[in-house]
Amino acid sequence: MKKLIEFRNVAKEYKIGEVPIRALDGVDFTISEGEFVVVLGASGAGKSTILNILGGMDTATSGQVIVGGQEITRLGEKKLTEYRGEKVGFVFQFYNLIPNLNALENVEFAAEVCKNHLDAKDILNKVGLKNRIKNFPSQLSGGEQQRVAIARAVAKNPLLLLCDEPTGALDYATGKAVLKLLQDLNKDTKKCVVLVTHNSAIAPMADKIIRVKSGRIESITMNEEKQSVEGIEW
Ligand SMILES: Nc1ncnc2c1ncn2[C@@H]1O[C@H](COP(=O)(O)OP(=O)(O)OP(=O)(O)O)[C@@H](O)[C@H]1O
């Protein structure tokens, strides 16, 4: 399959006072179009840093990041904002919905600025919220709010979907349903999904597993036959 993402010798250093913190050090990996990738590692390993650099929310200190043929590590602030807005859909642990907009408005608000956006109602339908589109975030459960957040990311019709601990605030069954939704969306839309988690039990649901340890890649493995989330217990 065609390569979509490439990290080449990426390093990230944060400087707090005099002491530099090397969050990433010599990170190399590639991700193909349509892949479902799980990034695993302990707390502080560098998972979110990878995701934030990939999403254009943070910049690498050195190295190259190429997404869809575009070297995002060379982009200036304006182009990087464009990249983030058009090409990347984000799903976070705490849904980050706008409280005074209903579900439909939350999705429309994010999508309509994107050139190739999809119909907000269709996507809310797809994530199982057909009858809740007029509800405000406070009227929805955590799992439903996360579905709105996923719909908001997908409706932009981005190149890739980045999820940072998307089930971190949800109970077991709801978290599993959200993972299933992400797996189904990946299968149906062929959009690349990169999901960061510390829960190594979900590794069998991925095409590719990138393990991160102390800012370095520990291993990259492929599942020849990935499993449906329903069949995984943890
Ligand atoms: N803005 C920042 N300023 C300073 N240090 C940071 C910053 N962001 C991350 N770090 C440091 O970089 C390292 C990697 O952090 P990162 O958030 O990527 O880890 P993580 O694997 O996502 O961890 P967690 O699972 O706890 O979210 C950690 O040592 C962290 O303290």
Q: How far apart are CA 108 and CA 161, in angstroms?
A: 17
Ligand 1 pocket, residues with Cβ under 6 angstroms = 14, 16, 21, 23, 41, 43-49, 198
ipTM over 0.85: yes
Write the residue with the smallest CA distance to atom 3 of ligand 1. 14
DSSP 8-state secondary structure symbol assigned to residue 214: T
- Compute the distance between CA of residue 62 and CA of residue 24 in angstroms, rounded to an integer: 10
Nearest ligand 1 atom, CA 52 = 18
Instruction: Walk along the chain (234 residues) in steps of 10 and give the mean pLDDT of each run.
Output: 96 91 97 97 96 96 97 96 94 95 97 92 94 97 95 94 93 92 94 95 96 98 94 90
Which pLDDT belongs to residue 17? Answer: 87
Q: Can you give the pLDDT at residue 204?
A: 96
Asked whether 5 and 21 are in contact (CB, 8 A), the reply is no
The β-bridge relationship of strands 3-16 and 88-91 is unpaired
Bridge-partner residues for 66, per DSSP? 6, 71
Nearest atom within ligand 1 for CA of residue 12: 12
Torsion angle (degrees, nearest 10) of CA 190, 175, 168, 191? 0
Neighbours of 38 (CB within 10 A): 24
pTM for the structure as a whole: 0.95
Residue nearest to atom 29 of ligand 1 (CA): 44
Q: How many angstroms separate the alpha carbon of residue 21 from the centre of ligand 1? A: 9
What domains lie within the chain, and their CATH numbers? 34-60+76-231 (3.40.50.300)
3-class secondary structure, 1: coil
To test ligand 1's pocket by mutation, which of 10, 48, 197, 200 has the most ligand atoms within 8 angstroms of CB? 48
Q: At what angle do helices 172-189 and 142-155 cross, to 10 degrees?
A: 20
> Separation of 55 CA from ligand 1 center, angstroms?
16
Task: Give the Å distance between the CA of 22 and the centre of ligand 1.
Answer: 9
Could you give the CA distance from residue 94 to residue 113 in angstroms, rounded to a whole number? Answer: 23
